[in-house]
Every structure is written in structure tokens, then in C-alpha cells.
Amino acid sequence: MKTAFFPKLAWAGIRKNSKFYLPYLCTCIGMVMMFCIMQGLSSSPQLANMKGGGNIALMLSLGRYVILIFSLIFLFYTNSFLIRRRYKEFGLYNILGLDKRGISKIIVWESLFVAGISLSIGILLGVLLQKLAELALVNIVRGQISYDIPFSADSILYTVLAFGGIFLLLFIKTVFQIRKSNPLRLMQSEKAGEKPPKANWFMALLGVLILAAAYFIAVSIESPLAALLLFFAAVILVIAATYLLFMAGSVALCKILQKKKRYYYKKNHFVSVSSMLYRMKRNGAGLASICILSTMVLVTFSSSACLYLGKENSLDSLYQNEISTTIYLNKMDHPENFDTEQYKKAFADFFASHNVTPKETFIETKASTFGIIKNDKVMMNPEGNDYTSLELNDLRAFYFLTADEYERKTGQAVTLADNQVLLYTKDVDYPNDTISFDNLTLRIIGRLSKMPDMNFGDSPLEKKFIFIISSMDTLAPILELRDSYDDPLVTYGWYYGVDLGLESEQEIELFEEFWPMIGRVNRAEGSFGYSASSKAEQANDFYTTFGGLFFIGILLCIVFIFAAAMIIYYKQVSEGYEDQDRFEIMQKVGMTQEDIKKSINSQVLTVFFAPLLFAGLHLAFAFPMVWRILQLFNFTNLKLMILITIAAFLIFAVFYSIIYKLTARAYYHIVAPKN
């Protein structure tokens, strides 16, 4: 009897509570599977061989940790829910003569069963689905497809170790939880009278204020760099505010409604408001978690989708030519030796020797800098190069074009004296007539109504000043200014761009020879700086980086949705048991079944759609901030982003509603008045 007794008891416990254990097991299996897939992919040899695969492997192994930490928190949450439901059973065992050691033994066996089932099925599914995930990934980043079945003993071992550890922690927690309790309390814990929740006005108010602050930051930030820096802070604020509002704010709101006697003592409000008070107190934290998870899903998905789907657009604005190079004249030791013709000739020879005809050649001289504008002065280097996030907000980009260049582009001749300029401003007003850069003061004698068509896409700063100057000599006083790293404050260069109409593979091959060639041509000029880029190569980078992000975004979304579904399910079921008695009483006191159903409906709807609603609100306010950040990646398609964000929200809302429908059935099944 001794040997099989505890395993049998444990197995019976799991089976009898299958309504709770089945979803729990599914969660465990899902988490193990996801981890196994990510682990397997990140160490897959195919990924290592793929161009840019290292990037993706890194992202995947980071994503792995996200899943691991998330699993730990989440399984603790669901496990404590499970154990609470079983207190009565354990209490009964205890009274019937099973001591706590015995109960711990049952828990040992239960943990072993749960761990065994989740690990074996999870890993099996993980290995099976890994190939599918790999194909999806390869398809997204446009890599080469291979047809071998990946199987790595290492990734299985890691999965077993990681989740074995989590299950061990869960087991220890459960045993402590049981050890601390006494049998009578175990028996009664479900029925213990609950104090009416007190409204914590301070916390509620704090929640409102923090949320307002977070939203203010989100909408008021204009500079992409500042947005990137403050995004994390805003996220923390939003998380804190969400918890405060759901936990304290909701209770306070119910209390306010209760105090309005005319409102409260109405058939439709009376029962709902008073039950909501308790419901929110018990579920505030859970609902806030659902809300935050939902927001994360939405933001992750929409931003990674934007980057991935909008990459063509970003590429076009970032790279106007297929192959381009900029030679920085003020980084040269002897700029006076610089000879444009020499370069042009070298480039023409290069393309001729490779049997390609450069379709368009694009040459210009331009200078650019950035700085903070104060009145009519531009501070180009405040306190080294460290900008606070507030200053980042005031950062502007300045471009200088010569009158000759402008005439060449537009056909319009302009005559300017020294230090006289024409100004075009994008997205910013500048009312003054003069503007000073250090010791150089420019006089604005006219304004352009149309932006000169040229490559301005290389700065993430949206607010731009474009100056037409008489010649580059005008800038001489500031061209030699250096920052603390001895880099010039003003970038002054010669831009060369070319379109060849080649396949991307060929273009990349050509580019591999092109950029060392520039170095050889220029060695005669002494030391200098230059940059060169190939659009096709950058495109590959975009695919792997953003495609990888998108892929991981999807994986994480699946995990988050899965988790949200579980939390909702457990909420519904536990609520159901708590509400069961209550609705029986109400029926006896004279509520019709219809009234009861209506009341249940309105409460359940409020409880479960409040997180979705708030997630939508968070998403709406995060939108401007995410938009600024995406601009850093030269994503400029606002329409696409609005479309993707709305689509993401709608898709998510559909998922959420399906989950709600499924779980609501479980709830109604429990509370439905029996007749």
C-alpha cells in the first residue's frame, strides 16, 4: 500500500480537479514549447549560416529570457490559484489523519506529474514545431530554406533544466504555503468573511496623476531621440499607474458611486456596483496584469510589424541611390588638394571595367550640423555631446546648400552676398532675421516655399533648417570647429550616388569592390573620412533585423495572448464559484433570472473589457511616442502605422472576445441558477 499510495492520491487530485489542472498543464506545456522553440532556433546551425543570422540568434536568446522570467511569474500566479482551490481537500486529508509530511508527499508527486507531463509534451511539440517556426522565420527574413530536421540535444537539456528549476521553485513555494497553514484554516479558507474594501484615495489619485504624467510625456515628446530615452520611463509609469488605477482607483470609483444615493439605489446599479467593489478589490491586480500584457502585445506587434512592412519605405528615404558615398572634406588634412574630377574619373573607370552603365550620377556638395536653437543662436555643442532628454526635444538639424548647387537642381539662379542666406524650414517656425552659429552670423534675406529636392533623409531629426548660401567659403569660420572627440561639428562633404539597376546579389558583390576602391583613390589626399553604402546590402540588414524583430514579436505575442487567456479563464472560474451563492440568495429575495443574467453580464463585461479598453487607451497614447522612435529607424509612413496599429488592435480585440466567449461559458455554467 505504502509505495503506490501517494502517487495514486496525487494523480486522483489532478484528475478530480481537471477543470483547473487542464488549463494549468496547457499553460506549462505552452511555455515549455515556446522556450524549446526559441532555444532550438537560437542555436540552430542554419541560423548561424544565414546572413545576419547572428543578430537574430541574439534576439532569440534574449527573447528566451523574457519567456523564462515571464513563465516564472505567471506559473507562480496560476499555481497559487490552484493550491488555494485545493485547501479544502488538503484540510480534509489533514483532519483524516494525514500529517503535513504526507501532504507534502502528495505535492511532491503532483509536481512530478505536472513537470513530467509538461516537459515531455512541451518538448515534443517544441521539437516538432521548431521546423515550422524556422520556415516562418526564414520566409520573413528571406533566407535560404533547408529541409533537414533540426534536433538538438542541447536545447532539450536546457529546456529541462530551466523549467525543472521553475517547477522546483513552485514545489517549494507550495510546501511552504501548506506548512504555514492549519487544518481548520485550510477547510475554511474559501469561506472566510471578507472585509468591505476601503477606498485608498491617495493611491487612486496617485494613479490618475502618474497616468496623466505618462500620457503627457508620450504626447509632448517631439524628438525621436528623447522618445527613445524616455520610452522606458513612460512604460514604467504606465505600468505603475495601471496597477494603482485598477487596484485603488476602481474601488474608489465604486465608493463614489455608492455615495450617490440616487444613483446607487437603482435596480440596475445596486447589485452591480456593490459586487464590483469586491470584484475589483480581488481582481484589480489580475486585471491590471491583463491590461499591461495586452498593451505589450499591441505595442510589440504593431511596432515590429511597422518596421518590417515599412522597410521599403525606410530604405527609400534613407538611401536615395543604390550605391552612394560621401567624402567628408573637413576631415581631410589637405582639403585644398581635393579634386572632384579625379573621383568622377575613377568611378567611371570602375563601372566601365565591371561592364555596368551607371544610370544616374548624382553629385552635390553640402554641409550639415545640428544643435539647440535659443533665440537666434544655435548651440552646436552644449556640454560636450551629452544632451539631456529635454534638450533633445529642442535639437534641430541644419543643412547648407550652395547657390550653384541649388541652381543646378532647380534651375533657379539666386544671387547672394557673403553671409546672406535663403531659408527653408521644415516643421518649425523661425521668425528672426538672423541666425548665429558660433562666430558666424547669417542674415536671412528670403524664404523658400518649397523644399529643395535632395537627400535629407539621413538625420532622424524631423525639424530641419535648410539654408542656401553663396558658397561653402561662407561656412569657413565654423568648418574647423571640433568637439571633445576631435570630430568636426559641421559635416561637410561631397556626395556621390549612382543607380545601376542590378540584382541585389550583384550589387552587393560590386559594392564589396567599390568601397575599397574609394580608399585607394583617396590615399593620395592624405587622411580623410568617407562613408559608403549599398542599398541592397542595407536591405538585407533590414530584413534580418526587422524580420527577426517581427518574428520574435509574433512569438512573444502568442505567449502573451496565451497568458492573458489563462488569467481570464482562472478569473472567470474563481469568480463563478464566489458568485454562485450570491445569486442564489438574490433569486430568493426576488430577483428574476433575467435580472440576474443582466447583472452578471454587465459585471463580467466590465471586468473583462476594462483591460482591453485601457490597453487601447495606452496604445493610443503610446502611438506618438512609438511613431517618434520608429522615425529613428527612418520609418516615415504615418498612414501605414495608423493602419497597422488599428488592425493590430482589432485583431487582438477579436482574439480577446473569443477568449472571453469561451471562458464566459465556463462562468455561466457555474453560476447559472439551477432549475
Closest alpha carbon to 182 in 87, 296, 86, 315:
87
Rounded least distance, CB 280 to other proteins, Å: 12
User: Which of 267/359 has CB closer to other proteins?
Assistant: 267
Rounded least distance, CB 267 to other proteins, Å: 6
The SS3 call for residue 399 is: strand
User: Which of 335/673 has CB closer to other proteins?
Assistant: 673
Rounded least distance, CB 265 to other proteins, Å: 4
Rounded least distance, CB 81 to other proteins, Å: 21
Rounded least distance, CB 258 to other proteins, Å: 9
The SS3 call for residue 181 is: coil
The DSSP symbol for 468 reads E
User: Which of 1/192 has CB closer to other proteins?
Assistant: 192
Q: CA-to-CA distance for 145 and 135, rounded, in angstroms?
A: 7
Q: β-pairing, 360-374 with 491-499?
A: antiparallel
Task: Name the amino acid, one letter, at 369.
Answer: T
Q: CA-to-CA distance for 125 and 34, rounded, in angstroms?
A: 9
Rounded least distance, CB 563 to other proteins, Å: 29
User: Which of 2/195 has CB closer to other proteins?
Assistant: 195
Rounded least distance, CB 99 to other proteins, Å: 32
> Please, are residues 329 and 335 in contact by the beta-carbon 8 Å criterion?
yes
User: Which of 96/589 has CB closer to other proteins?
Assistant: 589
Dihedral, 457, 463, 467, 473 alpha carbons, nearest 10: -70
Cell numbers representing residue 431 in the block: 521668425
560 CB-near residues (< 8 Å, 6+ apart): 293, 294, 296, 297
Rounded least distance, CB 187 to other proteins, Å: 17
Rounded least distance, CB 581 to other proteins, Å: 9
Residue 366: how many other CB atoms lie within 10 Å: 20
Closest alpha carbon to 60 in 549, 588, 592, 400:
549
Rounded least distance, CB 244 to other proteins, Å: 23
C-alpha pair distances (Å), 580 with each of 337, 541, 573: 89, 57, 11
User: Which of 195/520 has CB closer to other proteins?
Assistant: 195
User: Which of 250/533 has CB closer to other proteins?
Assistant: 250
Rounded least distance, CB 546 to other proteins, Å: 51
Rounded least distance, CB 668 to other proteins, Å: 18
User: Which of 266/359 has CB closer to other proteins?
Assistant: 266
Dihedral, 81, 85, 87, 89 alpha carbons, nearest 10: -140
User: Which of 412/592 has CB closer to other proteins?
Assistant: 592
Return the H-helix or E-strand segment holding 400.
strand 395-402
Q: CA-to-CA distance for 317 and 68, rounded, in angstroms?
A: 38
539 CB-near residues (< 8 Å, 6+ apart): 311, 315, 504
User: Which of 278/614 has CB closer to other proteins?
Assistant: 278
Q: CA-to-CA distance for 206 and 203, rounded, in angstroms?
A: 5
User: Which of 192/413 has CB closer to other proteins?
Assistant: 192
C-alpha pair distances (Å), 68 with each of 74, 152, 159: 10, 19, 10
Question: How many residues would you count in the chain?
Answer: 675
User: Which of 220/268 has CB closer to other proteins?
Assistant: 268
Rounded least distance, CB 188 to other proteins, Å: 13
Cell numbers representing residue 211 in the block: 497616468
User: Which of 520/674 has CB closer to other proteins?
Assistant: 674
Rounded least distance, CB 671 to other proteins, Å: 14
Task: Name the amino acid, one letter, at 595.
Answer: D
> Please, are residues 542 and 315 in contact by the beta-carbon 8 Å criterion?
yes
DSSP characters over 186-205: HHHTTT---PPPPP-HHHHH
User: Which of 258/368 has CB closer to other proteins?
Assistant: 258
Residue 374 β-bridge partners: 377
C-alpha pair distances (Å), 394 with each of 221, 381, 390, 397, 463: 10, 13, 7, 10, 9
Binding residues vs other proteins (CB under 8 A): 193-196, 261-262, 265-267, 270-271, 274-275, 277-278, 582, 585-595
